[in-house]
Each structure stands twice: as structure tokens, then as C-alpha cells.
Amino acid sequence: MQSRFHDPAGTFVASLFVILGIALALETRGMTAMGSVFPTTISIALIVFSAVLILRNLVLTLRGRGGSEAQSDEAPATGGSNARRAFFVGAMIAWIALIPVIGFLLASIAGYFAVMVVAMHERMSLKQIALLIVLGVAILAGFYLLMTEVLLIPMPRGHLF
């Protein structure tokens, strides 16, 4: 029995991203050393993560977990809630609208909390909620510091902060 290739569309798009990442990395040669830090980092990440996806799909295909077999082991997909989808879109719009008012970091924290509330499907203990809050704020603050201090990306400042 011949198994189908696992996620051919995803593999194709990942291949395009590898090519795009290489092209973008080559474009940074004409930039200053400081100006090329962020684009080079993103290009390398794009290439690496896309290559990992391609390798994963090849391994799953070679193991015989092609398209139809892989899906038969999983639980059937259920339809999502349209209200949750609408709240998610609303949270993203509110996040974007808040950036010029309260700044990137605070707007991102507010957006994280909004998406966290929308994504909760079952009741959680106070300990789990506290852990999500602490980890979320720590990750957002860490990425903010990485972008502003290491990659030297000027982040939008808000009118209030």
C-alpha cells in the first residue's frame, strides 16, 4: 500500500518560504550592520522553521503516515464557535487600535488577556489562571526587550505612555 505525502500544501508553502528567506537574507548584504540585524534574524528563522516543517513532513511520509492515514487516527474536527471567532477578531482590532494610545507593550498585554479569555473553553483553577498571566506577561516583556534592546527595533509609543 502506497501512502500519500503528508501535508503537500504545507510542504510546498514551506519550500517557498525557504526560497523567500534566502532571497531576503541576500538582500541584507547592502544594509548597514545595525540595519541588517532584524531582517537577517527573521530570514534565518524563516529558513530554519520552514526546513523543520519540510523535514517533519518527509519523516511522516516515510513512516507511512500520509494524508489519509494521519487523519484517521485523530478525533474528527468539530465546527468552531462563530461568537469566539468574532470576539477574537474584535480583540485583534482592539489591540491594533490601542497601540497608538497606550503603547506597544501595554496594548500587547491587553490583547493577550483578551485572546486568553476568548480561548478558554473549560473552567480553570485560580492557580492555572495566575500561571497563564505571569507567563504571558513574562513572555511578552521578554520579546519586547528582545526587539527593542537586541534587535534595536523602534517600537511604537502611545500617547499616554
Q: Are residues 56 and 100 in the same domain?
A: no
68 close to 2: Cβ distance less than 8 angstroms: no
Give the Cα separation of 82 and 61 in Å (integer). Answer: 34
CB atoms within 10 A of CB 105: 22
The whole domain housing 49 covers 8-62
In a domain, 107, yes or no: yes
Q: Is residue 29 part of a domain?
A: yes
- Please give the distance of CA 85 from its chain centroid, rounded to a whole number: 17
Residues 6+ apart with CB under 8 A from 115: 88, 91, 92
pLDDT at 91: 94
Q: Does some domain include residue 159?
A: no
Is the domain of 86 the same as that of 38?
no
The pLDDT tens digits of the residues spanning 101-147 come to 999 999 999 999 999 988 888 888 999 999 999 999 999 999 999 98
Question: Does residue 43 lie within any of the structural domains?
Answer: yes
Across the range 7-36, mean pLDDT stands at 93
Q: What are the grid coordinates assigned to 39, written together?
A: 531582517
Determine the pLDDT at residue 55.
96
Nearest 5°: CA angle at 105, between 141 and 108?
Answer: 100
Report the distance separating Cα 25 and Cα 37, nearest Å.
10
In a domain? residue 138: yes
* pLDDT of 3 higher than 70: no
Q: What is the pLDDT of residue 138?
A: 97
Tell me, yes or no, whether 48 and 97 share the same domain. Answer: no
| Residue 144 and residue 95 in one domain | yes
Alpha carbon of 45 to those of 17, 35, 51, 98, 151: distances in Å? 10, 17, 10, 29, 14
In tens, the pLDDT along 56-110 reads 999 999 888 655 544 555 555 566 688 888 999 999 999 999 999 999 999 999 9
Do 146 and 89 share a structural domain? yes
Q: Is there a domain that residue 137 lies in? A: yes
Determine, yes or no, domain membership for 155. no
User: Would you say residue 160 lies in a domain?
Assistant: no
Query: At 1, is the pLDDT very low, low, confident or very high (cuts 50, 70, 90)?
Result: very low
Q: What is the dihedral of CA 105, 106, 111, 114, to 10 degrees?
A: 150
pTM summary value: 0.57
Same domain, 100 and 55: no
Counting the structural domains of the chain, the total is 2
- pLDDT score, position 157: 86
Cα distances (Å, whole numbers) of residue 123 to 65, 102, 126, 128: 35, 31, 10, 10
